[in-house]
């Protein structure tokens, strides 16, 4: 076994690997970029080395620099985690040349399965069922258009390299194919340095089911059961569970057999995942991920195994710890991926400082894999996943209940997150009944997505209560220092001479304004909201947590205040409000609607217009790449582009003006 390893990654997977290494008394070396100097994985590791600026291409993708650090630190092996260099055959070979063990599969297996085109050819030869499609060498628009006509629309355009939904487009007609190919190539090139594409028939209601496989260098290979990863947005997994519900034993066994055959066909060693689409009783191979998957914890929860430990053992040349007949599954596990993103804005990634973080306490039924800490910054340079929340139950029903409760207890304020969205999924009747396929989110979008600017009455009540409690505390401190501590001028009770005692607040959420008037009474408050009236009694604050009786029912919420910004965290949902203070409003300016802004910090990858150009409503103007995704800014209406402020390759900040725009109505 190794004495010391280097983890060539960051975030929650780096922390995850360090935990197992620490349990096995293996020394750990972390690497970090300028953006991650104080990140949790840096703090957890025994040693840490700075390897470059924030952009991944200048730091976490610098394979030779990472190898030099490993050698200087005396590490014997490198664990690549997932993403970055995890499926880079050249890096695996470079490690071997320098006498380092790459804790992953052989370079040949990475090459064979890293290319979706090559892997489909191999699987076709091994008799593994494929999705009907095209994975030929011809990559011109004409080749792909002809193939799409043979397959029949709709088709799925996919990047041959990589995964995670990058370089993927659903195309419903030949007229839309050209733009989809161009966008997919750009995104694939940026994410994987490879713009080769393939086409597949787009199945209309498939499930995404995958098999965890493990192989050693002695010819042994096993499957560790299956996972269902069907709940996805932007073709990227959001919730995963194991075992996959509602599969016949015949299908499970056939799928596992095909997955092991796929691994053996390429001489696989280590942890890997063979992914299938399952529809109408049939399954089709789509790809193999030659690394540990993000969702591996659900497999660990049902098997009681540590897959990272297995990776260490196999990489050290040992045989698999168990035979296939010794591996058993117990209970049911579900993982929810917590992202810094805004579901109300089409899951647009978000950035910013984490000002409050209180996850639920871990226990035998609940696990949190996290790579962030309170006070840390979520940057635009890396994937927006913050943490994974994993629950286990004796059966699926108990696991779903635990998932709901754990999400309701997970508190994070700062950048917008998908925690409320995940709670909506977990509480949806169709999820409880496992009426699930890859179209789940789109089909139930109305139920799952928060309406922008909509704030619950309870959230408004707690926002007002937080401000009142804060003012009561401040007033008490002033009174204690005063020569007349009983003066009514020191009270925060809304006291007014010859008037009803009240206090009025005005909160802004999106484009909506919410006036809230609080009437003071004995032992509590009466709160007038836009649509109803609430009584609030016995409000108590402990840190940022507030407990009170709302209309006779005891409730608790966390309110995080930063200047005029308030974040209310209540039962798994969150609301972001701005206190509309008159003095602050007087200092503001109306910037008008004559410009189109960057949705977040990123890099301009396409400029499609020039000053003076007339455009139609919805016409693409500029494309910005951020957090590994391409975001297209389109014209909000017919009009004219008056200015173009940035060129391809330039960095832009969140909210900065990209183009000047004059609507056609303004000229009329």
- All structural domains of the chain: 4-103 (3.40.50.20), 132-201 (3.30.1490.20), 209-448 (3.30.470.20), 457-586 (3.30.700), 595-667 (2.40.50.100)
Angle, CA of 167, 172 and 174, to the nearest 5°: 90
Reference 262, options 123, 420, 374, 115; nearest CA is: 123
Output the pLDDT for position 667: 55
Output the pLDDT for position 207: 97
Reference 160, options 141, 137, 132, 179; nearest CA is: 137
Residues 6+ apart with CB under 8 A from 612: 640, 641, 642
Reference 422, options 404, 446, 436; nearest CA is: 404
Output the pLDDT for position 479: 61
d(CA 152, CA 201): 7
Work out the mean pLDDT of the chain and round it to a whole number: 90
CA-atom Rg of the chain in angstroms: 27
Mean pLDDT per block of 10 residues along the chain (668 residues) reads 97 98 98 96 98 96 98 98 95 98 96 83 85 90 96 93 82 95 92 89 93 97 98 92 97 95 93 94 92 97 98 98 97 98 90 94 97 93 95 98 97 94 97 97 92 86 92 71 55 48 88 91 88 92 94 94 90 90 44 64 87 90 76 86 90 82 73
d(CA 330, CA 340): 32
3-state secondary structure of 181: helix
Contact 293, 273 (CB under 8 A): yes
Output the pLDDT for position 481: 63
Output the pLDDT for position 585: 44
Contact 9, 60 (CB under 8 A): yes
The position carrying tokens 């994937």 is 383
Output the pLDDT for position 586: 40
- Identify each DSSP E strand in 350-491 by its residue range: 352-353, 356-358, 366-370, 377-378, 385-393, 411-413
Q: How many CA atoms lie within 13 A of 533 on its CB side?
A: 5
Reference 57, options 628, 495, 648, 476; nearest CA is: 628
Which residue stretches of 103-164 are H helix? Answer: 107-114, 116-126, 141-151
d(CA 407, CA 409): 5
The length of the chain is: 668
Residues 6+ apart with CB under 8 A from 78: 5, 6, 7, 8, 66, 67, 70, 95, 100, 101, 102, 103
- 394 phi and psi angles, rounded to 5 deg: -65, -30
Output the pLDDT for position 582: 58
Torsion of CA 374, 376, 378, 379, to 10 degrees: 180
Q: Which two tokens stand for residue 175?
A: 């007229």
Helix-helix angle 307-315:296-303, to 10 degrees: 100
Active site residues: 291
Reference 573, options 435, 455, 396, 428; nearest CA is: 455
d(CA 223, CA 228): 15
Contact 59, 24 (CB under 8 A): no
Output the pLDDT for position 59: 97
Which residue stretches of 292-382 are H helix? Answer: 296-303, 307-315
Output the pLDDT for position 623: 87
Q: Name residue 199's beta-bridge partners.
A: 134, 157
């Amino acid at each position: 076994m190794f004495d010391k390893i280097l983890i060539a990654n960051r975030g929650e997977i780096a922390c995850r690997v360090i935990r197992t290494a620490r349990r096995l008394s293996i020394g750990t070396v972390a690497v970090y970029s300028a953006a991650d100097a104080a990140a949790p994985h840096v703090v957890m590791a025994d040693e840490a080395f700075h390897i470059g600026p924030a952009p991944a291409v200048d730091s976490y993708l610098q394979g030779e620099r990472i190898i030099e650090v490993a050698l200087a630190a005396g590490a014997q092996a490198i664990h690549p985690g997932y993403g970055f260099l995890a499926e880079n055959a050249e890096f695996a070979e470079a490690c071997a040349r320098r006498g380092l063990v790459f804790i992953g599969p052989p370079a040949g297996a990475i090459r064979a399965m890293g290319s979706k085109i090559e892997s489909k050819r191999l699987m076709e030869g091994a008799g593994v069922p494929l999705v009907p499609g095209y994975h030929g060498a011809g990559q011109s628009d004409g080749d792909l258009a002809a193939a799409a006509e043979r397959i029949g629309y709709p088709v799925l355009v996919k990047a041959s390299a990589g995964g995670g939904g990058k370089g993927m487009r659903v195309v419903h007609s030949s007229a839309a194919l050209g733009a989809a190919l161009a966008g997919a190539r750009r995104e694939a090139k940026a994410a994987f340095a490879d713009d080769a594409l393939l086409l597949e028939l787009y199945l209309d209601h498939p499930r995404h089911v995958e098999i965890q496989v493990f192989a050693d260098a002695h010819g042994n290979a096993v499957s560790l059961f299956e996972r269902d990863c069907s709940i996805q947005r932007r073709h990227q997994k959001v919730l995963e569970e194991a075992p996959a519900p509602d599969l016949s034993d015949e299908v499970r066994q056939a799928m596992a057999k095909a997955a092991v055959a796929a691994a053996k066909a390429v001489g696989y060693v280590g942890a890997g995942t063979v992914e299938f689409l399952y529809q109408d009783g049939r399954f089709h191979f789509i790809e193999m991920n030659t690394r540990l998957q993000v969702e591996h914890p659900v497999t660990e929860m049902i098997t009681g195994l540590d897959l990272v430990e297995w990776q260490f053992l196999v990489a050290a040349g040992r045989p698999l710890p168990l035979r296939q007949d010794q591996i058993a599954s117990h209970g049911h596990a579900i993982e929810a991926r917590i992202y810094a993103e805004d579901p109300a804005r089409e899951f647009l990634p978000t950035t910013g400082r984490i000002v409050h973080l209180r996850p639920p306490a871990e226990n035998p039924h609940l696990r949190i894999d996290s790579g962030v800490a309170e006070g840390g910054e979520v940057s635009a340079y890396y994937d927006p996943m913050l943490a994974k929340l994993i629950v286990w139950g004796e059966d699926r029903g108990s696991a779903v209940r635990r998932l709901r409760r754990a999400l309701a207890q997970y508190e994070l304020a700062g950048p917008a997150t998908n925690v409320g969205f995940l709670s909506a999924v977990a509480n949806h009747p169709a999820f409880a009944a496992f009426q699930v396929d890859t179209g789940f989110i789109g089909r139930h979008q109305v139920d799952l997505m928060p309406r922008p600017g909509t704030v619950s009455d309870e959230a408004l009540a707690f926002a007002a209560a937080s401000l009142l409690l804060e003012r009561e505390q401040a007033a008490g401190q002033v009174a204690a220092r005063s020569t007349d501590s009983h003066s009514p001028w020191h009270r925060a009770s809304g006291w007014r001479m010859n008037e009803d005692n009240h206090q009025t607040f005005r909160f802004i959420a999106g484009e909506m304004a919410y006036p809230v008037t609080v009437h003071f009474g004995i032992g509590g408050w009466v709160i007038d909201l836009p649509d109803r009236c609430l009584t609030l009694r016995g409000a108590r604050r402990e840190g940022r947590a507030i407990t009170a009786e709302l209309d006779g029912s005891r409730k608790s919420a966390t309110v995080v205040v930063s200047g005029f910004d308030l974040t209310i965290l209540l039962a798994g949902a969150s609301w972001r409000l701005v206190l509309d203070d008159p003095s602050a409003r007087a200092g503001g300016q109306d910037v008008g609607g004559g410009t189109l802004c960057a949705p977040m910090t990123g890099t301009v990858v396409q400029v499609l217009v020039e000053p003076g150009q007339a455009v139609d409503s919805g016409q693409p103007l500029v494309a910005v790449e951020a957090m590994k995704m391409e975001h297209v800014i389109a014209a909000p209406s017919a009009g004219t582009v008056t200015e173009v402020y940035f060129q391809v390759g330039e960095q832009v900040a969140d909210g900065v003006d990209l183009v000047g725009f004059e609507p056609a109505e303004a000229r009329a």
